[in-house]
Amino acid sequence: MLAAAPLSWQLKGTQVTTPSQRVSFLMPPSWSLTTYRDGVAIRTPMVNGVQCEILVLEPRAAAATEQGQWEQLALLTKGILPAGDADLRGEYGSSDLLHTKRRGKSGAGWSFVGLVLEWGSTRIDPWLAVFGNQAVPVIPFAPGGTNCLLSHQGRVDAATVFHSLDLDRFPAAPATYREPLLGSWFTSDGRTGVLYASAANGHYVDVAATSGTIIESGQIYDVFSSFAGAGRYFVYGSLVARFPTTVSSTEKNHSNFVRIYEEQSSVTNVVECEIHVSSIDGSPYEICLWKST
């Protein structure tokens, strides 16, 4: 598959293991590593005044139910903060730490649960990777921002850990993302909108549109551009390969890392995130789309 549809972004780096040698993941060379008794901390380079920290802790027994795992994750996160700290909140400042919950399955076959938490100006998106009856806590911190977190569109720091995480050489049983991927997915930041639609017959369409203004000779003009494509797709593990019907200089056969999860708060949404590479500077970024109902 990769020979016909090369990866847009390569998952690569230095393999890091926790002190027990049971948990491993890939760390890009630009990150720094600190080892503790109960796990490791990795820190990203400073970008726009923000340095994110991701804790990867040693495995422990997983709670027997998803509800129990969410509660376990909340207690673990609170436990690594300063003793007696009462500032940890759920999303939007909620007193309920389980206000926003996430659940899903990796392309390698292990399941995960996650939360969205706030600690002062720091955003925390902890998640618990569940390998059978063992759980590995991964806790990313983003001081003053959200640009390195697993749920955020943009940088791929935590996504790198997610896609390379392993415990005791877990016997991978690749999850099939084909069925969850079916349907329409959309995202917009108010200026640019992206839509993917994947059908059961293995065909897809993708549409993107952007608008803005330019100033020329003292005059302000509205500008608008759009793109539409179609083709075939194939899913295996954490990868989705797309084969455009019309191959152009900007739309060639390609594969992307993907993850899909359900988010529960006041409403329930299904989110699909893919890692792409900028056509401008070649830097990787993660784009997340919400499933249309």
Please tell me the predicted confidence (pLDDT) of residue 151: 53
Domain at 178-291: CATH code: 2.40.128
Tokens 């529960």 belong to: 264
Spell out the residues 6+ positions from residue 212 whose beta carbon is closer than 8 angstroms to its own. Answer: 191, 222, 223
Please tell me the predicted confidence (pLDDT) of residue 63: 97
Report d(CA 20, CA 169) in Å as an integer.
Answer: 13
For the entire predicted model, the pTM comes to: 0.86
Helices (H) and strands (E) in the chain, counts: 3, 22
Residue spans of the domains in the chain: they are 14-167, 178-291
Report d(CA 287, CA 187) in Å as an integer.
Answer: 8
As beta bridge partners, residue 118 has 89, 123
Please tell me the predicted confidence (pLDDT) of residue 256: 93
> DSSP readout, 191-235?
SEEEEEEE-TTSEEEEEEEEEEEEEETTEEEEEEEEEEEEEEEEE
Helix (H, G, I), strand (E, B) or coil at 45: coil
Domain at 14-167: CATH code: 2.60.120.1690
| One-letter identity of residue 199 | A
Please tell me the predicted confidence (pLDDT) of residue 249: 47
Report d(CA 94, CA 116) in Å as an integer.
Answer: 10
Residue 9 half-sphere exposure, CB side, CA atoms within 13 Å? 24
Backbone φ and ψ of 193, nearest 5°: -125, 145
| Residue 69 neighbours by CB distance under 10 Å | 21
Please tell me the predicted confidence (pLDDT) of residue 248: 55
DSSP secondary structure code for residue 40 in this structure: E
Q: Which helix (H) or strand (E) holds 103?
A: strand 101-105
> What stretches in the chain show pLDDT beneath 50?
249
Please tell me the predicted confidence (pLDDT) of residue 285: 85
